[in-house]
Each structure stands twice: as structure tokens, then as C-alpha cells.
Amino acid sequence: MSGLSGKRILITRPRSQAAALIDRLAGLGAVPVIFPTIEISEMEDNSHLDRAIAALRDYAWVIFTSANGVAAFWRRLEAMGKDTRVFEGIRTAAIGPATASALSRRGVQPDFIPSEFIAEAIVPGLGDVRGQRILLPRAEIARPALVNELEKLGAFPDEIAVYRTLLAARPGPHELQELAQGIDAATFTSSSTVRNFMEILGEDAPRLLHGAVIACIGPITAETAHALGLSVDVISTVYTADGLVNALLEYYSLDSVRKNHERS
């Protein structure tokens, strides 16, 4: 039995992207409580991205900051009748293993993956980018840190919104009933999952999270949770769904040791 056996674990990521996390938790004996707080949507106007793809050879780097960005980029690439050959002579970077894997599955091996999976960490590995154009296919609302750092180094970042993160549809009676039964831990895999959870549930959110272990992917998500008044118990050092589960396992293992020590 794992430390998660019997634990009711809240999953807030999009339903379409939650299968691996659900399977991993269920395999460890946990009870996944599925409560999506965000939806990923395509952009209505892709003309900016289409122009960038058509002129891809003008860029020295293409930096992908999420698997969603990779998927959105490839939808337009294929719609234009192009394939991975457009990347010949162009370097690519991926923030995190999930993004790198999304690229690899499509036949592009990233030239650089930072050891820390946040935007700021990618800049030192790009080398001298002064005077270079750099393409950033990203979410419609993204942190400005990467663009700011690149501009400080004299690069010309071209940030293009390729997908939108939307508030999920209002939860149905079944989802609310599942949540009302109580949760032992809540997982948040992005800042938007935290913000939207609090917005969807309003004044009920603190009550529903009372006593639950709050687990966040990485420091950025944790900062958002703190800013919204949540006390974060777990921050995964590997910013992936698997990393988050492993961090929860470690937390409950250490918690068990502590309780045993207090009883002895």
C-alpha cells in the first residue's frame, strides 16, 4: 500500500489532459476527485502564427513553453501543409520534459532544455542572442519574464498567442457532490488552475479546502496559491504531473514518520 491509498485527491487540470494523472493516482490506491477548472481553446485568429511559420527561417530560436503550445503550433503547421523540415537550421528549446516530449513525438529534438523548468531558466542556455529574432508560441496570457529577459540581452522576441486558457464550464451536480464529500489533498498544475478554482467556488473554496494538503507544481503555481490565501504544503521540484505525485508520496511518507515519532 502507498501513502496515498484511500486518499481523495482533487484534480483541477483540464479533463482532456488529466488521464495520466488520474491513472497514476488510481494505481497508487488514491481516489481521484475530478474537478476541471480550466479549458484549453484554440485562437480564433491564427494569422500572426501563420506568417511566423511561413517565415520561420528568419528566427534563430523557437522556444516552446508548454505542451499546449506545441500542439497548437503543429495544428497550424499541418494546416499549412508543412512538416518538421521547416525547423532545419533553426534551434528549438523546450521548458520541461512534458514540452520536450511533445516536440520529440513530432520529430523535433530540442536543442536545449533548462534544468529548472521555468521561463527565466532558459535564457542562460541560449548563448549570445544579441540581434537575433526568437519566436515564442505561447498562451494568450503568459508571464512576461521570458520576453523581458530576452530583450535585456538584445534579442528580438516575437511572442505569439497560440492558445487560450479559459475558465472551465460551471461544475455539474455530480462534480459538486464529489467535492462536498471532502478531499485529503488538492493538486494544482498551473497558476490558472488555482485562480479558477477560487473563482468557480467563491466563498466556498476555503471551506472545501480546509484541512486538505495543498500541492502545487513548481514555485510559480505556489506563489499564486499563496497570493490567494492558501497555505501550500507540497511544491514539486520536478514540474510535471508525475513529479507532483512523487512529491505527494514523499510528503505523506514523511508525515507518517513524524506521527509515529510523536506517538513513541
* Domains 8-37+169-263 and 41-166 agree in fold: yes
**Residue 180, H or E segment:** helix 173-180
Residue 235 vs residues 70, 140, 152, 155, 255: alpha-carbon distances, Å: 25, 25, 30, 32, 15
pLDDT band at 47 (very low <50, low <70, confident <90, very high): very high
Does domain 41-166 fall under CATH 3.40.50.10090? My reply is yes
Asked if residues 176 and 205 have their Cβ atoms less than 8 Å apart, the reply is no
What span, in angstroms and rounded, lies between the C-alpha atoms of 243 and 217? Answer: 8
CB atoms under 10 Å from CB of 81, counted, come to: 6
Instruction: Flag whether pLDDT at 261 surpasses 60.
Output: no
Distance CA 240, CA 22 (A): 14
Domain ranges of the chain: 8-37+169-263, 41-166
Identify which has the larger pLDDT, 115 or 23. 23
**Which phi and psi angles does 137 have, rounded to 5°?**
-80, 115
Instruction: Give the phi and the psi of residue 178 in degrees, each rounded to 5.
Output: -60, -40
Cα 124 to the chain's mean position, in Å? 22
* pLDDT of res. 35: 95
Alpha carbons within 13 angstroms on the beta-carbon side of residue 251 total 21
Confidence of residue 255 (pLDDT cuts 50, 70, 90): low
CATH of 8-37+169-263, one of 3.40.50.10090, 3.60.40.10, 3.40.1440.10, 3.40.50.2300: 3.40.50.10090
In the block, cell 505525485 appears at: 245
Q: What percent of the chain has pLDDT over 90?
A: 75
Whether the predicted pLDDT of 262 surpasses 70: no
Q: Residues 164-190: what's their mean pLDDT?
A: 91
Stated pTM of the model: 0.83
121's grid cell: 531558466
